[in-house]
Amino acid sequence: MTEYPSEGDTGPDRAEGVVGGIIVGVDGSEAGQCALKWAADEARRRSMPLNVVTAYTIPVFAASSMDAGYATLDDDVIREGAQEVLRDAIHGLDTTGIDVKLLLESGDPAGVLLDLSESADLIVVGTRGRGGFVGRMLGSVSSALPAHAKCPTVVVPQCVTTVPTDAPERRDVVVVGVDGSERARHAVLIAAERATERGVPLRVVCGIPPVSGALAWMPATVDQEALVADIQVQLGNGARWLNSHFPNLEIETEAVNGPPIEMLLEESARSRLTVVGTRGRGGFAGMLLGSTSQGVLHHARGPVLVVPDRDDPRLHNRSDFDTPAG
Mark whether 252 and 305 lie in a shared domain.
yes
Residue 301 lies in a domain: yes
Instruction: Decide if 175 contacts 268 (C-beta within 8 A).
Output: yes
- A 10 A CB-CB count for 237 gives 18
Q: What is the pLDDT of residues 186-219, one digit of tens each?
A: 899 999 999 999 999 999 999 887 765 444 444 5
Instruction: Decide if 277 contacts 307 (C-beta within 8 A).
Output: yes
Residue 290 lies in a domain: yes
pLDDT of residue 159: 57
For residue 165, pLDDT over 70 is answered with no
Mark whether 102 and 197 lie in a shared domain.
no
Residue 166 lies in a domain: no
Mark whether 229 and 112 lie in a shared domain.
no
Report d(CA 100, CA 113) in Å as an integer. 17
Reference 170, options 39, 260, 262, 267; nearest CA is: 267
**Which residue did the predictor score with more confidence, 170 or 87?**
87
pTM exceeds 0.85, yes or no: no
Q: What is the pLDDT of residues 113-134, one digit of tens each?
A: 889 999 999 999 987 654 433 3
pLDDT of residue 284: 31
Instruction: From 138, 160, 182, give the residue that closes a domain.
Output: 160
Instruction: From 126, 160, 194, give the residue that closes a domain.
Output: 160
> Structurally, how many domains does the chain consist of?
2
- A 10 A CB-CB count for 161 gives 14
Mark whether 16 and 132 lie in a shared domain.
yes
| DSSP symbols for 194-245 | HHHHHT--EEEEEEE--HHHH-TTS---S-HHHHHHHHHHHHHHHHHHHHHH
Report d(CA 88, CA 127) in Å as an integer. 19
**pLDDT band, very low/low/confident/very high, at 324 (cuts 50, 70, 90):** low
The DSSP output letter for 251 is: E
Instruction: Decide if 113 contacts 25 (C-beta within 8 A).
Output: yes
> Reduced to 3 states, what is the DSSP secondary structure of residue 130?
coil
Instruction: Decide if 214 contacts 179 (C-beta within 8 A).
Output: no
Residue 234 lies in a domain: yes
Mark whether 195 and 305 lie in a shared domain.
yes
Q: What mean pLDDT is predicted for residues 66-94?
A: 76
Instruction: From 94, 127, 160, give the residue that closes a domain.
Output: 160
**Which residue did the predictor score with more confidence, 8 or 143?**
143
Q: What is the end-to-end Cα distance of the chain in Å, rounded?
A: 54
Mark whether 88 and 34 lie in a shared domain.
yes
Residue 165 lies in a domain: no
188: domain CATH number? 3.40.50.620
Give the residue ranges of DSSP H helices in the chain. Answer: 30-46, 60-67, 75-90, 109-117, 139-148, 182-198, 211-214, 224-245, 260-268, 290-299
**pLDDT band, very low/low/confident/very high, at 282 (cuts 50, 70, 90):** very low
Domain range for 133 is: 2-160
Mark whether 63 and 139 lie in a shared domain.
yes
Report d(CA 60, CA 273) in Å as an integer. 39
Report d(CA 96, CA 102) in Å as an integer. 16
Residue 249 lies in a domain: yes
Q: What is the pLDDT of residues 142-163, one digit of tens each?
A: 566 777 888 999 999 875 554 4
Residue 272 lies in a domain: yes
pLDDT of residue 134: 37
Mark whether 141 and 68 lie in a shared domain.
yes
Counting residues of the chain whose pLDDT is more than 90, the rounded percentage is 33
Mark whether 149 and 209 lie in a shared domain.
no
**pLDDT band, very low/low/confident/very high, at 18 (cuts 50, 70, 90):** low
Mark whether 79 and 152 lie in a shared domain.
yes
> Which residue type is seen at 310?
R
Q: What is the pLDDT of residues 238-253, one digit of tens each?
A: 999 999 999 999 999 9
pLDDT of residue 136: 42
Mark whether 250 and 310 lie in a shared domain.
yes
Residue 64 lies in a domain: yes
Instruction: Decide if 105 contacts 7 (C-beta within 8 A).
Output: no
Mark whether 295 and 272 lie in a shared domain.
yes
